[in-house]
Structure 1
Amino acid sequence: MTTRRAFLAGLAMASLPRLTWADVGNPAFLAAAKSASGFVLHGLSEQGQSLFSLPLPARGHAACAHPTRALAVAFARRPGTFALVIDCASGAVLHQLDPPAGRHFNGHGVFSADGSVLMTSEVVAETSAGRIGLWDASGFRRIGEWDSGGIGPHDIKLLPDGRLVVANGGIQTTPNGRTELNIEAMRPNLTILSEGAIVDRAELAPEYHQNSIRHLALLPDAIACAMQWHGDPADPVPLLGLWKPGQAPELCPAPEAMGLAMKGYAGSIAATNGRIAVTSAPGGLVMVFDATGAPLASHFRADMCGIAAMGTDFIATDGLGAAWHLGEEGLTLLGKQPVAWDNHLIALG
């Protein structure tokens, strides 16, 4: 049932001019952070400078941007119970999205190509069964949901043909999301959905079934995924995978010393210009691979986690407030803010 408050908010939105990203300074990235005053969402320029800063009610994780309108959706750290639709021109919270009873948001979302539908990564709290929530982006009303094709979905990406790829992490947790229940039996997978129907799905080889698939980046002919290892910590397994739908996923090993340095944890991933960058905050480094998964370089920086494509290079953020340009020559400091950047840097382009 539509509440009076929601109805009035919808009328207000309809009567206001729909500002574009150009109207708010053309930010290139969105990033959650912790500041002295609390949790915030920043819009950043290509140089890593803050163009706007908006308060969040609790720790944020990732965000997603509307393809044309100056709207961002900020998601709580999983398991989360809020997603805020924010007018980035005024800083106003237009809507707070709440998952259905017994559900949690799982940190990520994406808009359809035309911006008409928001899709959110969710779990059934009791079982960790995955769902993709569907929201009408004209008023952010819940209009349906899809089965994600696995347990514990996390990142989701829209493919160029409009289908959705889901990183099902495979981990069942307690309803509060913090205690893992099925590490010995977990089965992560990559699933492609078309209008809710599973059209392709791939699992890792059995010896890697404890490699939770967490985050995604799109290459012209493959889907890259970053993973987090829940097996023997002394075993430096590959944390980067490449999947060409219709084939088995291919894992891409790093040099043993770098694999050990990453401590079984790949935090964020991005791809551009035939290169893939994968970060590890516990390891304090970012590794760069070519499009075949062959390692090219490793760069060390404490608490490095956020990474996004910037033209033919990358921009990265760390938990000490710094933004970095990452090119073939290595890391170059762009600037520093009085914040602790969180896990992700989300490109608007």
Structure 2
Amino acid sequence: MATPIAGRRQFLGGLLAAGLMPKPTWADAGSPAFLSAAAKSDGNYVLCGIGADLSVRFELPLPARGHAAAAHPTRPEAVAFARRPGTFAVVIDCVTGAQKAMLTAVDGRHFYGHGAFSSDGSLLFTTENDYELGQGRIGVWDVAAGYKRIDEWASGGVGPHDIKRLPNTDTLVIANGGIDTHPDTGRIKLNIPTMAPNLTYIEEGAVIDIADLPAVLHKNSIRHLALGPDGQVAFGMQWQGDGPVETLAGIHQIGTPVRLLSAPADDVRDMDGYVGSIAFTADGQTVAITSPRGGLLQLYDAQTGHMTQSVAMPDVCGVATHQGTLTVSSGTGALRQMQGSEQSLAQQTNMQWDNHLIPI
């Protein structure tokens, strides 16, 4: 017997195929506030929609472990990306559960687990590695043509990981982590002594700005990004050097210098050199960073750049904002809403949540 959710999807799918209902919206997919990849207790991998009340609104199968996803800006459609160095991305209709397309990395490339849509949803941009040349690439995919690859651009650096589109623009910001890898050696990092991470801003394939870190931090791999309401970009880093590091996060805006976030040395050390995810609060006043290795959520004042709070949470990683509230996810299955250091809502699931919560 079909479950109620599966039956509803089949019913809606039939109506859509017959042209008997308006174009679907995210409400037809259960009004999720977030997307997240997860592993189930039976070992299968799924992409889930999570509601503002922390309930799981849908779970859709993935062929292997996922990392992040991209939500289409105008319809209930998502692209789920394989964990680095994966070579697949699955396009899913989140109403019917149908797989609409499968993106496969072209020869000599692998994906880095992230992507972003253009403002009108006509193009998808993917972060990729040209692993023979050791150079970053941005794949360009035509959505209307069934996600056909039509172009690629230089990412402006090595090891592009996260990619975001600045609010109300088609300007892309890319986190070039600086780390070179090759599928023959899996996740082994090949160029630590010569790393050079940066933030690169691209419009229609042209680099319009590059922000570099101070030379002493060249082993601080820029990995994940968050967008503020005024075009600020917060970035989280992962330290590849020996000994302590002074910071694991910063803020940048086009045309200005990088501002590094600061915390007492013990608090930086407790993050174990690793930021897994990062988010702005809706008002842009606070930056949240997580470390699953350190089991910590840390909050920073975006104006002063100083840490304001540190909250212990086992295996915490995903973090995102919805209607003024921070939501975090954990590999233990926990979902929590946070107002500062106070927990306002919690849900325990049977999912092992992967690294990211993607707001819709």
- Please give the range of the TM-score, normalised by the shorter of the 2 chains: over 0.9
Q: Does 1:64 align with 2:74?
A: no
Letter in 2 for 1:225: F
| Aligned pairs for 1:66-215 within 5 A | 66-138=72-144, 139-160=146-167, 161-176=169-184, 177-215=186-224
State the SS of the aligned residue for 2:27. Answer: helix
Q: Is the 8 A contact 1:221 1:244 kept in 2?
A: yes
- Distance, in Å, in 1 between the alignment partners of 2:251 and 2:48 is 31
The CA deviation at 1:331 is 3.0
Does the CA contact (< 8 Å) of 2:309 and 2:341 recur in 1? no
Query: Displacement, 1:248?
Result: 2.3
Q: 1:15 to 1:108 in 2, by over 3 A?
A: farther
CA-to-aligned-CA distance 1:83-133 (integer Å, 9 cap, x gap): 000010111111110011111011000111111111111111223311111
Work out the CA distance in 2 between the residues paired with 1:236 and 1:62: 27
* Higher relative strand content: 1
Would you say the 8 A contact 2:239–2:273 is kept in 1? yes
Q: C-alpha distance in 2, partners of 1:47/1:184?
A: 46
Per the alignment, residue 319 of structure 1 pairs with 331
Deviation at 1:14, TM superposition (A): 8.9
CA contact (8 A) 1:165 1:190 kept: yes
- Picking from 241, 248, 271, the partner of 1:239 is 248
Deviation at 1:73, TM superposition (A): 0.2
Q: Residue 5 of structure 1 corresponds to which residue in structure 2?
A: none
CA positional deviation for 1:329: 4.3
User: Which residue identity is paired with 1:318?
Assistant: S
Task: Kindly indicate whether residue 59 of structure 2 is the aligned counterpart of residue 53 of structure 1.
Answer: yes
95-104 or 215-224, which moves further after superposition? 215-224
One-letter code aligned to 2:335: A
**Contact 2:310 2:341 (8 Å CA) reproduced:** no
Q: Find 2:25's aligned residue among 12, 20, 23.
A: 20
- Cα deviation, 1:24-63, whole Å, max 9, x if unaligned, reads 1211000001002311110000121100001111100000
- Structure-2 separation of matches of 1:174 and 1:110: 23
Question: Does the Cα contact within 8 Å between 1:32 and 1:61 map onto a contact in 2?
Answer: yes
Tell me how far 1:15 sits from its aligned partner. 7.5
Distance 1:159 1:255 in 2: 31
Are the aligned partners of 1:236 and 1:263 in contact in 2 as well (CA < 8 Å)? no
Give 1:158's aligned amino acid: R
Relative distance call for 1:15 and 1:119 in structure 2 (3 A) is farther
**Is 1:29–2:34 an aligned residue pair?**
yes
1:174 shift after superposition: 2.6
In 2: Cα distance, 1:199 partner to 1:21 partner: 34
* 8 Å Cα contact 2:131-2:180 kept in structure 1: no
Counterpart residue number, 1:8: none
Secondary structure in 2 matching 1:309: strand
Matching of residue 299 in structure 1 with residue 305 in structure 2 = no
- The two structures have a TM-score, normalised by structure 1, of 0.93
Aligned Cα RMSD in Å?
1.5
Paired with 2:188 and 2:95, the residues of 1 have a C-alpha distance of 39
CA distance in 2, matches of 1:315, 1:331: 10
- Distance of aligned partners of 1:76 and 1:44 in 2 relative to their CA distance in 1, 3 Å threshold: same
Could you tell me which residue of structure 2 aligns to residue 330 of structure 1? 342
Asked if structure 2 preserves the Cα contact closer than 8 Å seen for 1:229 and 1:237, the reply is no
Q: Could you list the runs of 4 or more consecutive aligned residues of structure 1 that deviate by over 3 angstroms after TM superposition? A: 13-18
Structure 2 CA distance for partners of 1:183 and 1:48, relative to 1, 3 Å: same
Please say if residues 127 and 172 of structure 1, whose CA atoms lie closer than 8 Å, have aligned partners that are also in contact.
no
Could you say what secondary structure the match of 1:307 adopts? Answer: strand
How many Å separate the matches in 2 of 1:85 and 1:221? 28
Question: Which sits farther off after the overlay, 322-331 or 208-217?
Answer: 322-331
Question: In structure 1, what is the equivalent of residue 7 of structure 2?
Answer: none
CA distance in 2, matches of 1:190, 1:25: 35
Q: Distance in 1 between matches of 2:231 and 2:329?
A: 27
d(CA) in 2 for partners of 1:221 and 1:72? 24
Instruction: Please give the secondary structure, in 1, of the residue aligned with 2:194.
Output: coil
> Equivalent residues in 2 for 1:247-286 (5 A)?
247-272=256-281, 273=283, 274-286=285-297
Same amino acid, percent of matched pairs = 50
Higher mean C-alpha displacement, 237-246 vs 206-215: 237-246
